[in-house]
Amino acid sequence: MNDRGLGNHLRAFRTERGLTQAELAQKVGVSRKTVNTVENSVFIPSTLLALVLAEALETNVESLFFLTSPFRSDKI
């Protein structure tokens, strides 16, 4: 299981809805850096944040996030 990582379509969903990173961050109640690091797969969000992000982008978590392989070791 440890060789699986977390990918996401956050940037695609965000731009599709015409939101900047800052606007999405404001909507979700986190910093722009958090959105930036999640988008770039540097930071793995908690389940709660993933759900809130999905809600803000009017989609579901499964559409927003997906499992990748192999696991990237430079995650924060």
Partner 1 sequence: MPLFINEDTDALIRLEQQRGRNAHVARLILGVGAVVLGASAARVCGGGDKVATIPLTVWTMIAAGLVMLVMGGWLAWRSWPGSSSTLLLRLSGERDKVHNKQARYMLITLIAAIGMLPAAFQASSIILARHSVWSDWVMAILLSALIPGLILGALLNGGGTKLDYIYDEELIQSFRARALGVGYPTAMLVLAALFWLGLFRPNWAVLAAPSALLICVTVPAWTFAWLNLRSER
Q: What are the residues binding partner 1 (CB under 8 A)?
A: 20-23, 25-26, 30-34, 36-37, 40, 42-43, 45-46, 49, 76
**Token reading at 74:** 């430079």
Count of Cβ atoms closer than 10 Å to residue 71 Cβ: 13
* Residues in a beta bridge with 66: 7
Least distance in angstroms from the C-beta of 52 to partner 1: 11
Q: How far is the CB of 46 from partner 1 (least distance, A)?
A: 5
Minimum CB distance to partner 1, residue 68 (Å):
19
Three-state SS for 51?
A: helix
